[in-house]
Structure 1
Amino acid sequence: MINDETKKKLRELKLGELINAYEIYSKNADWTELPFEQKFQMMADYLYQEKYNNSVKILMAKAKFRIPKAEVTSLVYEGRGIDRNLITELSTCQFISSNTNIVFQGFTGSGKTYLACALGRQACKQRYSTKYIRLPDLLVEHDEEKIQRGNAKRLLKKYGSYGLLIIDEWLMDDISDEEQHFIFELIERRHDEASTIFCTQYKKDDWFDRLGGGVHADAILDRIVHNAIFVETGSMNMREFCAKMHK
């Protein structure tokens, strides 16, 4: 038996999961007959899995996904024209390790956000720091930061550091010159350093004008598009489809 003093030491070392493992396995009648090496391996495996599960749970909570239960395995492909093989490949998250951007483009209700959140959850499972945010909300944060601190350096550092950043409702609203400059600085920080998923109703050809035009708009486009994978989500209204499925 593990005595109370040993349990206390394990908890101080943040290894309380080992106590749980021991208490679970020691109830098995065959436990005492197992060699030390096998016992050690079983407890190490239990500890690893518990630490992994906890870290993924924390990452998903911090990501603030709009659709927190989105799963790649639950995606509907029939009638949407989405390449199943491509999505399967993206779900391995190799695009993050290669700093590749993803653009989901399609009509309202076509499932862009679901796809992005599903890939975001896959990223968390591989322990990439991930964040979901709507562009309108990000720009509100920018305005508040400017009022409180006089600059957006802290915000740029925060959003520039995520392994995967999901920006939803990309270019839905007009942006000011100051917001354009902020977006440029953010994209510049993430360029070839991290991956970003963009969800938008607008085709690439419309981006320059929606970004306000000029050299900054051109620079933003160049940094996003040159290594991006574009995925058309089609015109099928997934909200209506899912509503009918659950009737």
Structure 2
Amino acid sequence: MYDLLADFADERLVERSTRDTMRKYIQPSVLIIDDFLITPLDEKECFDLFTLLDYRISSVGSVIICSQLEITEWHKQLGGNILADGVLDRLSSKAYKIIISGDSLRKE
């Protein structure tokens, strides 16, 4: 998740369009976003995510989201605004939820 957001931020720092980064994440047939929303997103990050999901889900391919947060917490982490609504709408429109519970395998 944070590599994706860092790529968008890096392009902004050099005052370029985020088109190259968008293309990079739109092309794969499956995009896996791990560690989704471990920290809250600011408005620019949320907009980048919204735009990426809008392109991918409407025409390109699948997105797999892995998160340690409950789905009910996502809206708050996305800023709790209309942009957060848009992100969640795009994620939930064709979603399958697989919830895994139990101890972390990283403890071993």
Check whether TM > 0.5: yes
Ranges in structure 1 where 5+ consecutive residues have no aligned partner:
1-134
Match of 1:238 among 89, 105, 108: 105
Instruction: Give CA-to-partner distance per residue, 1:157-204, whole Å, 9 cap, x none.
Output: 110121000000000111111111111100001113210111101122
Misfit runs of 4+, over 3 Å: none
In structure 2, runs of 5+ residues without a counterpart are: none
Deviations 1:102-147 (A, max 9, x none): xxxxxxxxxxxxxxxxxxxxxxxxxxxxxxxxx1121111111111
CA RMSD in angstroms comes to: 1.3
* Offset of residue 149 of structure 1: 4.0
1:74-96 residue CA offsets vs partner (Å, 9 max, x unmatched): xxxxxxxxxxxxxxxxxxxxxxx
- 2:5 maps to what in 1? 139
Q: What percent identity do the matched residue pairs reach? A: 28
Matched, 1:178 2:44: yes
SS at 1:174 equivalent: coil
Structure 1 residue 224 corresponds to structure 2 residue 91: yes
Name 1:196's counterpart in structure 2.
Answer: 63
Work out the CA distance in 2 between the residues paired with 1:179 and 1:239.
29
Report 1:50-129 matches (<5 A): none
- Higher-RCO chain (CA-CA 8 Å, sequence separation at least 6): 2
Match for residue 158 of structure 1? 24
TM-score with structure 2 setting the length: 0.90
